[in-house]
Amino acid sequence: MLRGAVGICGFLLLWECAVQLGAVSAQQLCPPSQVAAAFFTKLADPRPDGATLGAHFIASSSVALGGFLLACLIGLPLGLAMGYYQPVYLLANPIFELLRPIPPIAWIPIVTLLLGIGAQARIFIIFLSAVVPCVINAYTGIRHVPERYIHVGQSLGMSRWRIFTKICIPCALPTLFVGVRLSLNTAWTALVAAEMMASVRGLGYMIQMGRLLIQPDIIITGMLTIGSTGALMSALLSLIEKRLTKWGAER
């Protein structure tokens, strides 16, 4: 742990010196001190792109979480149903497999043309990217339920629906969570892409503006904010996951 701190400090020091001593042009890279200054300024200052850091952050997070929650609400039940009911799988899988290889950013142009550049368009793009891990992991989770568990349910005379809800879903919960975590990650990445290309607010837009106005301190502030928010959300999700699946993975 101590070594890590030393490593990071060394890195920051090197960075600071490289710029201050002129090894790297100040136009292209700004020292960490300047980044820190920009961070604190931007918290309250709406210049140069029209909104404070906080406003951008809220715009980004709300859109990302909106798309993410929508993806979970639709993707998880769909994946679970696909794993359990064969007709659902046969109907949904071809379309899913057809659309899956298309990366989320490739959807941005078509969605922008059809829905504009408002928040709904971005939520939809995020939904399209975040729904994939939800479906896949929910499906895999159900497929990996050991057959003997279902056999137990069946010999107890449980209906198919009851077996699904009382045995299959609890058993699949850890895999579901892996999917949800992946989905959150994907949602956040898709958000940044959508904001960089089709938005007038948000952290992605902020760093785009930073480039156009040649302000590396804004760019780096934005990048670090994006990175830490993503990490924080992931950590929170892991915490929830640990609580709900305290029974641990199967031996």
Partner 1 sequence: MNGFSERAAPRRLLRLLPLLSLLAFLSVWHLAALCTDLLATPLDTAKALAGMLFFPTSKVTLLHHVWASLCRVLAAYALAIAAGVLLGVLFGWSRRFHDYCYPIFELLRPIPPIAWIPLIIMWLGIGEPSKIAVCFIGSVVPILVNTYFGVSRLDPTYLKSAKILGAGQRALLTHVILPGALPSILTGMKVALSSGWVCVIAAEMIAARKGLGYLIIRSMESGDMVHILVAMILIGSVNFLFSWLFSKLEGVVCPW
Partner 2 sequence: MSDAKVQVRQLTKGFGELLVLDNLTFDVRPGEFLCVVGPTGCGKTTLLNLLSSWWTPTQGEICIDGRAMDPKTQNLSFVFQESSAFPWLTVEQNVQFGMKEKRFPPELIAQRTREVMGLLDLESVKEKYCHEISASAEQRVVIGRSFALHPDFLLMDEPYAQLDIKFRLHLEDAILALNRSTGSTCLFVTHNIEEAVYLAQRCIVLSNKPTSIKAVRTIDLPYPRDTCSPEFIAIKDEITEMIKWW
According to the binding rule CB under 8 A, does residue 178 interact with partner 2? no
Please give the C-alpha separations between residue 144 and each of 7, 141, 164, 186, in angstroms, as whole numbers. 42, 5, 13, 24
> Is the sign of the CA dihedral 133, 190, 69, 184 positive or negative?
positive
**Does 165 contact partner 1 by CB under 8 A?**
no
The yes or no reply on residue 28 touching partner 1 (CB under 8 A) is yes
Query: With b meaning 16 or more CB within 10 Å and e meaning fewer, what string describes 227-247?
Result: eebbeebeeebeeebeeeeee
Output 53 or 226, the one with its CB closest to partner 1. 226
Q: Which of residues 100-119 bind partner 1 (CB under 8 A)?
A: 101-110, 112-114
Q: How far is the CB of 194 from partner 1 (least distance, A)?
A: 10
Tokens 């998880």 correspond to: 76
Give whichever of 65 and 158 is closer to partner 2, judged by the CB atom.
Answer: 158
Sole binder of partner 2 in the list 154, 165, 228, 238 (CB under 8 A): 154
Residue 117 burial (CB count, 10 A): 16
Q: Contact at 8 Å (CB) between 88 and 81? A: yes
Nearer to partner 1, 74 or 224 (CB): 224
Under rule CB under 8 A, residue 246 binds partner 2: yes
Say whether residue 173 binds partner 2 (CB under 8 A).
yes
